[in-house]
Amino acid sequence: MATQCCYIGKGIVYGRISGAPAAAVDFGNVSKLELAIQQEEKSVKDYRSGGGGTACSVIRISEVGANITMNCLSPANMARAMAGTTSVIAGATVAAASNPVVAYKGGFIPTAPGATSIVVTHASASPVYVANTDYVVTGSGITILTAGAITDGQSIRVGYTATALDAIDIITGAFGSYQMWLDGLNEMESGNPVLIEIYKFKFGPAAALALLGDDPSELAVTGKLEADTSKTGVGVSQYMKVKIKQ
C-alpha cells in the first residue's frame, strides 16, 4: 500500500474530446486542476425529545465541479475555453487593386499581424502615398496621418504581404467534454509518480480573458465532471481514477 499522505501535485495535463479517435494532446502550462464536490442533504428532525437534533439523514453528491487554469494561451486552449474554433490563414500577397478602403485622417486601417511590403495608393492607383508622411505602419495595419495628403473619406488602396496566421473564432459552438490525464508527481513525496484520469470533464467558459494588462493572461475555466456510463462494476468510478506508485 502507498504510504504517502501529504500532497502537492505538479505535472502535465493531456486531453482529447471524450470518445474521439485522436491523440491526447498537451494542454501546456496548467497551474490549477481541482475538483469541487457539491452535496445535497435530506434530513428528518428528531421530534421525540425536547432537545431537537436529527433523527436520520442522507447526503448525496449533487455535482462534481471541476476547475482548470491554463496559463498557455495557445489557439487550441483559447478555443476550448471560449467555445470556439481554430483555423489557419495561409500567407498571401494582397494586391492593392483588390483591397479598396475608405480612409480618414487619424484613423486606423487593419492589414494583418506582421504584414510587410505595404503599398498605399489613391483609388486610381496614382499617386502612391508615402510611409511616415501620409501614413505610418503599425504592428497590424496603418494609421493615416493628419498632416498627410490623404483626405477624410477618401478611397484608397492598400496592398501588403501577410505570413501564415492562426485564427480563433469564439462562441461558435458548444463546450466540449474532455477525457483528461494528469501525468504528474507528488512534490511532497520526493516526486513520487501519480497518474490521474478524468473520464469526462465538461468545459465551461473562461471566467475572463485579459486582452490588456500588467499581468500574464490565463484561462480559468469552471466546468463539471459528467458520468462515463461505460465504466461499470462494484467500486468502479464513472468519473475519475487516481493511480499512485507504491
Q: Considering the chain, what is the average pLDDT of its residues?
A: 95
Grid cell for residue 103: 480612409
pLDDT value at residue 115: 97
Q: Is 202:224 a contact under the CB 8 Å cutoff? A: yes
Rounded-to-integer distance, Cα 71 and Cα 218, Å: 5
Q: What is the DSSP letter of 19?
A: T
Q: Is 202:17 a contact under the CB 8 Å cutoff? A: no
pLDDT at 1 over 80: no
Exposure string (b/e) for 90-99, b if CB count within 10 Å is 16 or more? eeeebebeee
Handedness of CA 123, 126, 132, 133 (dihedral sign): negative
pLDDT value at residue 246: 87
Rounded-to-integer distance, Cα 68 and Cα 169, Å: 21
What mean pLDDT do residues 207-229 have?
95
- The H or E element that residue 60 is part of is strand 54-70
- Summarised one tens digit per residue, pLDDT across range 12-50 is 999 999 999 999 999 999 999 999 999 999 999 999 887
pLDDT at 3 over 70: no
Rounded-to-integer distance, Cα 189 and Cα 169, Å: 43
- Summarised one tens digit per residue, pLDDT across range 164-190 is 999 999 999 999 999 999 999 999 999
Q: Is 10:184 a contact under the CB 8 Å cutoff? A: yes
Q: Is 47:225 a contact under the CB 8 Å cutoff? A: no
pLDDT value at residue 5: 85
Burial environment of residue 235 by CB neighbours within 10 A (0 to 12, 13 to 18, 19 or more) = exposed
pLDDT value at residue 48: 87
Grid cell for residue 67: 476547475
